[in-house]
Amino acid sequence: MFMGEYHHNIDQKGRIIIPARFREDLGEAFVLTRGLDQCLFGYPEQEWKAMEDKMKGLPLTKKDARAFTRFFFSGASECEIDKQGRINIPQTLLQYAKLEKECVVVGVSSRIEIWSKPVWEEYFALSEESFSEIAENMIDFDI
C-alpha cells in the first residue's frame, strides 16, 4: 500500500526521484499516465493490469467510456526506475501535470500520484476546506 507525501524536484531532463518507500512496491518498471485533477497516476504492473481489465469492461457504445479510456491509455508510459531511484517522465505528461521544478509524490493506496507543488497546494487547500462535507458524502460508500 502506498501512503505519505514526499517533496522532490524534477531536473532539467525531466527526471524525478521516486521515494524509496514506494520503489519496492512499484517494481523496476511501472506505468505512469494522466490522472485526474491534473496530476499523474503511477501503477505497479499488477494494479495496471487490474485497471486495464476494468476498462475493457466499459461499454464501447458510451461516449464517456470511450473518452475516458482514450484519455487514460493515450498518456500511459512504462517508466523504469534507474540506479539513483529516478524515472524519466515523458514530455507530454510533464506538460499535462504542469511539472516544472518542485513536485509532490503522494501515496494513494494502490497507486502513486505526482503533482506540481503549486497545483497540489491549491488542490489540498480547496479540499481541506470541504473535507467534512467530502467525508459525509463518503458514507454512501460504506466508509
Domains delineated in the chain: 2-141 (3.40.1550.20)
State the pLDDT confidence band at 138, using cuts at 50, 70 and 90: confident
Alpha helices in 7-87 (DSSP H): 20-26, 45-56, 63-74
Total-model pTM: 0.92
Percent with pLDDT over 70 in the chain? 99
Q: Residue 105 has which C-alpha cell?
A: 509524490
Report residue 137's pLDDT band, with 50, 70 and 90 as the boundaries: confident
pLDDT (average), residues 86-102: 97
pLDDT band of 129, cuts 50, 70, 90: confident
Residue-wise pLDDT for 5-25, tens only, equals 999 999 999 999 999 999 999
What residues does 87 pair with on adjacent strands? 16
- Give residue 142's pLDDT: 65
Q: Could you give the CA distance from residue 18 to residue 101 in angstroms, rounded to a whole number?
A: 15
Could you tell me where the beta strands, DSSP code E, fall in the chain? 2-9, 15-17, 29-34, 40-43, 77-80, 86-88, 102-109, 111-116
